[in-house]
Amino acid sequence: MTTLSSDLTHKPSNARIAAVQMISTPRVDDNLRSAARLVAEAVAQGAELVALPEYFPIMGMNDGDKVKVREADGRGPIQDFLAETASRHAIWLVGGSIPLMADNPDKVLNSSVAYNPQGERVARYDKIHLFGFQKGAERYNESATIEAGSLPVAFDTPFGRVGLSICYDLRFPELYRALGVTDLLVIPAAFTETTGRAHWEILLRARAIENQCFLLAAAQGGRHENGRETHGNSMLIDPWGDILDRKLKGPGIVIGEFDHARIAEIRASLPALKHRVM
């Protein structure tokens, strides 16, 4: 397991956390402007950690468009935007997912990158599970343009340990077990309307309940220029599975309190994590 830790030795603090929901376009510059506006809106409401959705910098007209704008690890306009935004607002920023160079020149890594309030990157997670779906004329095959990652990733903040995953990963609970005990799961996504309507909320609440942690889901949510409809329904969920805030469709934010007392209360009254035998 890949982990990035700081020397945080004091008692974890509470925090206000937010997820950004977007309807990203095929144009990177337009999407970065939209993301900047929505992050600023979250910060104005007190957010100390903000998460962007999967594919926030580009939802292309075809799957190959993201390959054309992929960046080398650690440099490029999208990564520069994330670092500068985190530093300017002095927040923890999870950059949804961005296209990074893969070993295969015709593919990308679909990577979630996290930055601290100084604008330093503290974690990178490459999406492990690649979405495939076919029902009638609706068909998706991420493995055609995405190279799968292999390592779970979590990182430490002053308010707790944060586990990363992306979209289709949500269907694989063993990934979250591999992260160990986390206080917050951040899940950027671009769930389809078909699968999202059936399973999105159920799966999110299950992951929060079984890991007894807060969960912040940042989604794409609406009709895109390429004709694809994403489910939206970004939400913040507490460790009991209660939904604290949600945004059904369209651009916007969800925001709420990350409360260590709530985690401690639930883990004390129902110590399921301690009862694990496998």
Instruction: Point out the residues that are catalytic.
Output: 54, 127, 167
Q: How is residue 219 annotated by DSSP?
A: E
Interatomic CA distance for residues 117 and 111, integer angstroms: 20
Specify the amino acid at residue 4.
L
Q: In the structure, how many helices (H) and strands (E) does the chain have?
A: 8, 16
Find out whether 163 and 182 touch, Cβ atoms under 8 Å. yes
Burial 194-207 (b: 16+ CB within 10 A, else e): ebbeeebbebbbbb
- Spell out the residues 6+ positions from residue 3 whose beta carbon is closer than 8 angstroms to its own: 153, 154, 155
Strand-strand pairing, 2-4 and 153-157: parallel
